[in-house]
Amino acid sequence: MKAVQFTEHGDRGVLEYGDFPEPEVDPDEVLVDVKAASLNHLDIWTRRGLPGVELEMPHIPGSDMAGVVTEVGERVTRFEAGDRVALIAGVAGGGDEFSRKGDPTLAPDFHIIGEHVRGVHAEFAAIPEENLVPVPEGVPWEVAGSASLVFQTAWRMLVDRGELRPGEKVLVLGASGGVGHAAVQIADYAGAEVYATASTDEKLEYAEECGADHVINYEEDDFSKEIQTLTDGRGVDMVVDHIGEATYKQSLKSLVKGGRVVTCGATTGPDPGAGLNYIFWNQLSVIGSTMATPGEADEVLDLVWDGTFEPRIRETLPMSEIDRAHELIEERQGFGKVVVIPDSEL
């Protein structure tokens, strides 16, 4: 089969799309003929190299995909050949405590397909059945292959960890990215008043289409000052911040007393300084969130499958143009998700 792969960490030049052995199917696994996959920012970090994460080389990236089951292991009970499926990338062992009905993100050995182990940017992928969900007929492959990671991440951040309530004011940073544009839609669906930031007027128009009530161009304005102006000095109840060092202090300054920052990542760096003076004086909460439980993922994906939520696609490319796909993410070009399709499917 053909697969995206790299044998060393580095810039986009380490990526290639070439021959790779077709995966063998373990008893608890399902072999999927990949129809569409997509990129997330973690693909950039994985390619560059993450501290403390040692990968088996060559590594296949990719944590989002959808396709058709072609083979099932002898212990598989949930799927059969011909089923349409999508990936849920979070994996945990740990026995019954961290089963599908529990919270695998809290397991000591929690890891992510594509980030810590070989991923799905390939023609075929062997996936544990617990990491797949059914995709209804009629859902386009581009939608099915690009929704899972960002919508489950944003849903857990806002609904479960952040406990978002109707009528609250929510600021979503980086609304043009995968998690950002999902968070805007979820906040709007939950009945919040949604504020969103992006770097261009075009991106802000897309954010408004996704449900943002107020938009701020962070290249032109200090968003924390704009929030104070827009809320008559009150601030927002929640900030969704996956940016990190570049935005953290402004996020704290944007909050009402007793407000909360929810974070799932730090694309500009992980060490912004604690900001303890803001936190204790204004009684703020900083809440971490990673991926989602299977139940949370099922809940939000049902809303994707029925059209309530829509993953916006900025560009669809052949997998052989993986360099360009990484460039779109790395250089923050466009709005929404970047989809890659095996060349054999085109």
Q: For residues 131 and 294, what is the distance between their CA atoms, to the nearest angstrom?
A: 8
Q: For residues 300 and 244, what is the distance between their CA atoms, to the nearest angstrom?
A: 25
Q: For residues 83 and 117, what is the distance between their CA atoms, to the nearest angstrom?
A: 24
Burial 316-332 (b: 16+ CB within 10 A, else e): bbbbbebbebbebbbeb
Domains of the chain, with CATH numbers? 2-147+311-345 (3.90.180.10), 151-288 (3.40.50.720)
pLDDT value of position 98: 54
Q: For residues 300 and 297, what is the distance between their CA atoms, to the nearest angstrom?
A: 5
3-state SS of 13-66?
HHCEEEECCCCCCCCCEEEEEEEEEECCHHHHHHHHCCCCCCCCCCECCCCEEE
Walking along the chain (346 residues) 10 residues at a time, the average pLDDT comes out as 98 98 96 98 94 93 98 96 96 59 77 94 96 97 97 97 97 94 97 96 95 96 96 98 90 97 86 87 94 92 98 97 96 93 95
pLDDT value of position 139: 98
Peptide bond before 58: cis, by omega within 30 degrees of 0? yes
Q: For residues 91 and 120, what is the distance between their CA atoms, to the nearest angstrom?
A: 14
Q: How many residues does the chain have?
A: 346
pLDDT value of position 114: 95
Q: What angle do CA 40, 44, 45 make, to 5 degrees?
A: 110
pLDDT value of position 169: 98
Tell me the Ramachandran region of residue 252: left when phi exceeds 0, alpha when psi lies from -120 to 50, beta otherwise. alpha
pLDDT value of position 93: 58
pLDDT value of position 8: 97
By CB atoms closer than 10 A (0-12, 13-18, 19+), residue 335 is: buried
